[in-house]
A and B are shown apart, each in its own frame.
Chain A
Amino acid sequence: MAIKTENKNGLTVCYVEGEIDINTSPDIKKNFEKILSKKAPSMVINFSKVTYVDSSGLATLVEILKDMRTYGGKMKLCNLSPKIKSLFEITKLEKLFEIIADEKDAL
């Protein structure tokens, strides 16, 4: 899975498409390891084209967050569908992740 990234005024915006689940998680993790190797200070993952997340997907996002925190990077999530947002609320991961409405709130 290719993850498109854009740099917007120092903010790394990552566009993930499709499903973040047990099948795609290893690939997504690998992609983010590459992205984070540049030690982006601030990153937002845009979920506008993400259609499904399972418990493995949530775990992968936690891993990415932990990786970022090792060097003091900040990570936000935006454009989550109400359904996917509800998974963060149910699991209380909304306490760990900063969930914002859209990219412009991160700029």
Chain B
Amino acid sequence: MNRQNDILEENITIPSETKYIREISSKILKILEARHIDESALFDIRLCVEETVRNAIEHGNHKEKKSRVRISYRISGDIFTVEIEDEGAGFDHRTLPDPTHGDNLMKNSGRGVYLVRRLMDKVEFNEKGNKVKLTKYI
């Protein structure tokens, strides 16, 4: 099957409410499933989209319902990308502690961004740190 010319993209804006997270990931997964993307990639994409949208809602927008999260995904040939942007002040992703080091291993949080970095093929933050682009070769 030649998927090269088959481009699909969509922009979605949601209020900062966690109830929308599953809705977003289900929508994306449904499209990818129809393209017969393998189970492992589907698992990774679901996890990374849900973790990143949740971070945008909880840490970026501090669950302020008036603040929005913008999600733009694109499937082009064998490349899946999604950009997730919140309206918060941003953060410096370079200063996040490594959850696999020392005492961090026993901590109850701090693994979300780490997993996203490991499961996606590319993770790019903007300078401000309120927008992230995830890429997965499917």
The contact size tier of chain B is 20 to 34
Among A21, A23, A83, A95, point to the contact of B105 (Cβ < 8 A): A95
CB of B111 within 8 A of CB of A55, answer yes
B130 CB, nearest partner CB in chain A, Å: 20
Among A55, A66, A91, A95, point to the contact of B51 (Cβ < 8 A): A55
CB of B100 within 8 A of CB of A91, answer yes
Which of A2-10, A32-40, A57-65, A99-107 interfaces with chain B?
Answer: A57-65
**A22 interface residue per 8 A CB criterion:** yes
**A87 interface residue per 8 A CB criterion:** yes
* Majority SS at the chain A contact face: helix
Q: Which residue of A lies closest to B112 (CB)?
A: A55
Q: What is the number of residues of chain A that contact chain B, defined by CB distance less than 8 Å?
A: 19
The interface residues of chain B lying within 8 Å CB-to-CB of A21 are 50
CB of B100 within 8 A of CB of A92, answer yes
A62→B108 CA distance, assembly (Å): 7
**A54 interface residue per 8 A CB criterion:** yes
Residues on B lying within 8 angstroms of A by beta carbon are: 18, 22, 39-40, 43, 46-47, 50-51, 54, 99-100, 105-109, 111-112, 114-115, 118-119
Residues on A lying within 8 angstroms of B by beta carbon are: 21-23, 52, 54-55, 58-59, 62-63, 66, 83, 87, 90-93, 95-96
